[in-house]
């Protein structure tokens, strides 16, 4: 139930910043966003960081003079915001052979040279829509379909904006308390309850997925440990469900040694952690080089991080997955899969398709399933 003490959240436009989960969220109108290069103590900042600065995509950070006061989403969650969709009139789904070929190319050094432990490969689907979507409707639709996800929208200037429904918390800070909840190891869900249960059981028992998950947990724990007086890391991951995917997740919690120290604000901690092996690989720099060689487009803000940090250094930053970038009536959606020794190229293609459906169906883009796999005749 929404908090009765919260005020209704104002509808968001493409040029605004929005960050919400469940029935609450924050909203900063475009008129209160001022581009900045970096956060400073005493300043409130919102925005997104790209996956890889080396491609030329810069940080998209904004200072605001408004307090980040949560509001309720209780009003307008019904059909007037979530009922109507948009349709693609031109589609580039990417070639299945191109993606599975890239996976096979990534597997060679994993198996033969042993210089990489994991590399995350993404693919993009691009579409031109029959109309410019109404922005608040997009966000409400994503929120309604992904109740446990962090739904974000970051303006990129003009008619461009980046939005998504991320299930993965990179870092949250409140005072001296921090939380990180990485996800790695995934399986598509099934509409058949019996098969859905089988898939969840296969995931929890999969050595390959546990191996992939351990890379991420170990990196986050090693990075946060020097800053913490206490750090609790689960021995085993838990099973988490979204509308389209099963995930292995680990909730890491800690207490900062000195929350007033430089580098302990939420944004600085996010910079320390990003990119994790969940979106890049292991070792990080070598994996990012391999991604640059094998992916056919710049990820820009996909697999980066989006969120906010207030004047006290508290804030939330999520891994910007299940995300899409809009430019007028054009949209580009991305999804990725972790490639380790034992990965199957066809299975990884299926996994990325299920992840793409989360964002595209959540946005009301119809028919999402068909054009993800290249079968749409539009």
Q: Give yes or no: 208 in active site.
A: no
Between CA 378 and CA 376 the distance in angstroms is: 6
SS3 8: strand
pLDDT tens per residue across span 272-327: 999 999 999 999 999 999 999 999 789 999 999 999 999 999 999 999 999 999 99
Direct distance between the N- and C-terminal alpha carbons of the chain, in angstroms, rounded to an integer: 41
* DSSP H/E element including 126: strand 118-129
Among the listed residues 118, 136, 212, 355, the single catalytic one is 118
Q: Taking a C-beta distance cutoff of 8 angstroms, is the pair 315, 172 a contact?
A: yes
Q: Which two tokens stand for residue 183?
A: 């996800």
User: Burial, 315: exposed, middle or buried (Cβ in 10 Å; 0-12, 13-18, 19+)?
Assistant: buried
Sheet with strand 183-188: strands edge to edge? 183-188, 245-249, 238-241
Query: pLDDT by residue for the chain (378 residues), tens digit each?
Result: 445 578 888 899 999 999 999 889 999 999 999 999 877 778 999 999 999 999 889 999 999 999 998 999 865 444 444 445 667 666 677 778 889 999 999 988 776 666 788 999 999 988 888 888 889 988 998 888 888 899 999 999 999 999 999 999 999 999 999 999 999 999 999 999 999 999 999 999 999 899 889 999 999 999 999 999 999 999 999 999 988 889 999 999 999 999 999 999 999 999 999 999 999 999 999 999 999 999 978 999 999 999 999 999 999 999 999 999 999 999 999 999 989 888 999 999 988 988 888 888 877 775 545 555 544 333
Between CA 59 and CA 36 the distance in angstroms is: 9
Angle at 58 between CA 128 and CA 212, to 5 degrees: 80
Among the listed residues 168, 212, 325, 351, the single catalytic one is 168
Q: DSSP letters along 102-156, please?
A: HHHHHHHIIIII---SEEEEEEEEEEEESSPPPHHHHHHHHHHH-TTSEEEEEEE
Among the listed residues 26, 5, 7, the one whose alpha carbon sits nearest the alpha carbon of residue 306: 26
Among the listed residues 173, 156, 131, 174, the one whose alpha carbon sits nearest the alpha carbon of residue 17: 156
Q: Give yes or no: 118 in active site.
A: yes
């Amino acid at each position: 139930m929404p908090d009765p003490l919260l005020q209704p959240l104002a509808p968001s436009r493409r040029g605004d910043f929005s960050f919400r989960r469940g029935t609450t969220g924050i909203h900063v109108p475009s008129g209160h966003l001022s581009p900045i290069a970096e956060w400073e103590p005493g300043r409130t900042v919102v925005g997104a960081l790209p996956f890889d600065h080396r491609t030329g995509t810069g940080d998209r950070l904004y200072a605001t003079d408004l307090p980040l006061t949560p509001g309720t989403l209780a009003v307008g969650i019904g059909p007037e915001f979530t009922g109507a969709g948009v349709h693609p009139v031109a589609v580039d789904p990417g070639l299945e052979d191109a993606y599975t070929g890239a996976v096979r190319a990534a597997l060679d050094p994993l198996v033969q040279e042993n210089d990489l432990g994991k590399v995350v490969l993404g693919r993009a689907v691009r579409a031109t829509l029959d109309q410019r979507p109404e922005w608040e409707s997009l966000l409400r639709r994503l929120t309604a379909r992904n109740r446990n996800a962090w739904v974000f929208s970051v303006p990129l200037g003009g008619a461009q904006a980046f939005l998504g429904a991320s299930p993965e918390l990179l870092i949250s800070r409140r005072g001296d308390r921090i939380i990180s909840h990485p996800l790695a190891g995934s399986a598509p869900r099934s509409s058949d309850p019996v098969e859905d249960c089988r898939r969840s059981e296969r995931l929890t028992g999969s050595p390959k997925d546990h191996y992939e998950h351990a890379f991420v947990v170990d990196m986050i724990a090693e990075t946060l440990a020097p800053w913490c007086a206490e750090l609790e890391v689960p021995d085993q991951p838990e099973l988490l469900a979204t509308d389209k995917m099963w995930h292995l997740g680990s909730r890491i919690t800690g207490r900062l040694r000195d929350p007033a120290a430089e580098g302990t604000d939420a944004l600085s901690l996010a910079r320390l952690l990003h990119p994790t092996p969940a979106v890049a690989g292991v070792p990080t720099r070598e994996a990012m080089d391999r991604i640059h060689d094998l992916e056919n487009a710049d990820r820009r803000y996909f697999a980066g991080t989006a969120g906010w940090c207030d004047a006290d250094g508290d804030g939330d930053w999520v891994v910007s997955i299940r995300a899409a970038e809009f430019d007028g009536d054009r949209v580009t959606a991305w999804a990725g899969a972790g490639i380790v020794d034992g990965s199957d190229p066809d299975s990884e293609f299926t996994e990325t398709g299920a992840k793409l459906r989360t964002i595209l169906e959540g946005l009301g883009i119809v028919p999402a399933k068909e054009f993800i796999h290249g079968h749409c005749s539009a």
